């Protein structure tokens, strides 16, 4: 709060994170940013909490705005080429610093219901149907420092020792608890189809790694489960795990997408192949998009204002 807010500008951004790395890559590029605004960014580069950049985006008539990423600015770059001036903010250098869905909890002893409530609150959700958890159930030595969805899965898995029929799913900003004889279909699993945002033609690598593209969805969770429906290219019976997430946006083109690399349950990387090369996806249309704000920490480039 109280920092420089930047709205209604021509920007593009990118956030990428992989399951096999604690590092992430995030950047925001502004086009033809006014010199006076750039100087403001530069001048507050050492002033917490103003040294934070946040990108919020969302499709109109869908779930509204949500944080794509947020974190301290590692450095700025300013360049001019072919009449276009670009100002690029490089965001943080660790997932924890720039992931808006990161949660932390450390309790020696806590009510099971209260633990669920605290995690849900940190995830920006309200926990519902807490009655399914015994009111006198107590948990010991709870420690989380990870993505909220991963922490919630781990927590509720531990509760199943006492509540074996416990399941959960997300409904907008609510975390719904349920129990019954059989789990709901796809409970706690992201399900994507051509009718819910899946776009372009997926690619299956030699080692069965699946690459897909969809309208931007910040709910997808690294290492989380995902299913695909209604695509003639993807086997619906396979339960995939998300191995890499990349969010990209460009409000000059109204194109905001999420690219995923997913692996099947029996996945084994090809020996010596390394990570497959980046896939170019076919272009697809997207709805109007909104939202961006930026604040700055330090400049490690030669782009100091004159």
pTM > 0.75: no
Long-range contacts of 154-163 (CB under 8 A, 24+ apart): 155/115, 155/116, 155/119, 156/116, 159/112, 159/133, 162/134, 162/137, 163/132, 163/133, 163/134
| 166 lies in the same domain as 90 | no
Residue 142 belongs to domain with CATH number: 3.55.50
Least confident range from 24-38, 57-71, 174-188: namely 174-188
Q: What confidence score (pLDDT) does residue 73 get?
A: 80
- Residue 270 domain-assigned (yes or no): no
| 217 lies in the same domain as 164 | no
- Residue 236 domain-assigned (yes or no): yes
Residue 194 belongs to domain with CATH number: 2.40.30.150
Which distant-in-sequence residues (6+ apart) come within 8 Å of 268 by Cβ? 207
| 150 lies in the same domain as 199 | no
Q: Which of 72, 98, 124 is the last residue of a domain?
A: 98
| 18 lies in the same domain as 87 | yes
| 15 lies in the same domain as 90 | yes
Q: What confidence score (pLDDT) does residue 62 get?
A: 59
| 202 lies in the same domain as 151 | no
- Residue 302 domain-assigned (yes or no): no
Range with the largest mean pLDDT of 42-46, 251-255, 278-282: 251-255
Indicate whether 273 pLDDT > 60.
Answer: no
Beta strands in the chain (DSSP E): 11-18, 24-31, 52-57, 66-81, 84-91, 102-111, 126-128, 138-147, 166-171, 174-179, 190-192, 198-204, 210-215, 225-228, 240-250, 255-263
Least confident range from 73-82, 93-102, 294-303: namely 294-303
Q: What confidence score (pLDDT) does residue 296 get?
A: 36
- Residue 224 domain-assigned (yes or no): yes
Indicate whether 223 pLDDT > 50.
Answer: yes
Indicate whether 222 pLDDT > 70.
Answer: yes
CA gap 306, 287 in Å, rounded: 39
- Residue 83 domain-assigned (yes or no): yes
| 174 lies in the same domain as 200 | no
Q: Which of 150, 179, 208 is the last residue of a domain?
A: 179
Q: What confidence score (pLDDT) does residue 203 get?
A: 92
Q: Per this entry, what is the length of the chain?
A: 306
Give tens-digit pLDDT for 25-41.
788 898 888 888 888 88
| 94 lies in the same domain as 154 | no
Q: What confidence score (pLDDT) does residue 99 get?
A: 57
pLDDT: which is higher, 9 or 300: 9
| 75 lies in the same domain as 108 | no
Number of domains composing the chain: 3
| 57 lies in the same domain as 77 | yes
Q: Which of 98, 131, 152 is the last residue of a domain?
A: 98
Structure-token pair, residue 148: 């909220």
- Residue 272 domain-assigned (yes or no): no
Q: What confidence score (pLDDT) does residue 271 get?
A: 45
CA distances to 14, 76, 242 from 27, rounded to whole Å, are 6, 10, 22
- Residue 274 domain-assigned (yes or no): no
Domain of 229 in residue numbering reads as 190-263
């Amino acid at each position: 709060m109280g920092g420089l807010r930047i709205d209604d500008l021509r920007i593009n951004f990118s956030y990428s994170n992989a399951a096999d790395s604690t590092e992430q890559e995030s950047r925001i590029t502004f086009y033809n940013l006014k010199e006076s605004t750039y100087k403001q960014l530069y001048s507050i580069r050492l002033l917490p909490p103003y040294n934070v950049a946040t990108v919020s985006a969302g499709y109109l008539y869908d779930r509204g705005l949500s944080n794509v990423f947020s974190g301290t600015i590692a450095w700025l770059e300013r360049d001019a080429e072919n009449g276009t001036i670009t100002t690029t903010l490089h965001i943080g250098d660790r997932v924890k610093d720039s992931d808006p869905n990161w949660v932390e909890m450390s309790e020696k002893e806590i009510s099971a219901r209260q633990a669920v409530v605290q995690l849900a609150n940190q995830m920006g959700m309200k926990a519902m149907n807490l009655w399914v958890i015994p009111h006198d159930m107590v948990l010991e030595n709870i420690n989380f420092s990870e993505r909220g969805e991963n922490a919630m899965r781990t927590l509720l898995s531990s509760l199943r020792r006492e509540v074996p029929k416990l399941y959960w799913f997300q409904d907008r900003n609510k975390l719904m608890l349920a129990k019954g004889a059989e789990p709901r279909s796809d409970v706690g699993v992201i399900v994507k189809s051509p009718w819910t945002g899946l776009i372009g033609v997926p690619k299956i690598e030699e080692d069965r790694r699946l690459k897909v593209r969809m309208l931007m969805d910040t709910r997808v969770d690294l290492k989380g489960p995902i299913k695909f429906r209604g695509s003639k290219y993807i086997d619906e019976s396979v339960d995939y795990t998300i191995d890499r997430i990349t969010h990209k946006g460009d409000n000059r083109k109204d194109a905001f997408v999420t690219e995923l690399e997913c692996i099947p349950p029996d996945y084994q990387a090809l020996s010596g192949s390394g990570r497959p090369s980046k896939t170019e996806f076919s272009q697809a249309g997207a709805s109007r998009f909104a939202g961006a704000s930026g604040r700055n920490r330090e400049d490690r480039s030669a782009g100091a204002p004159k």
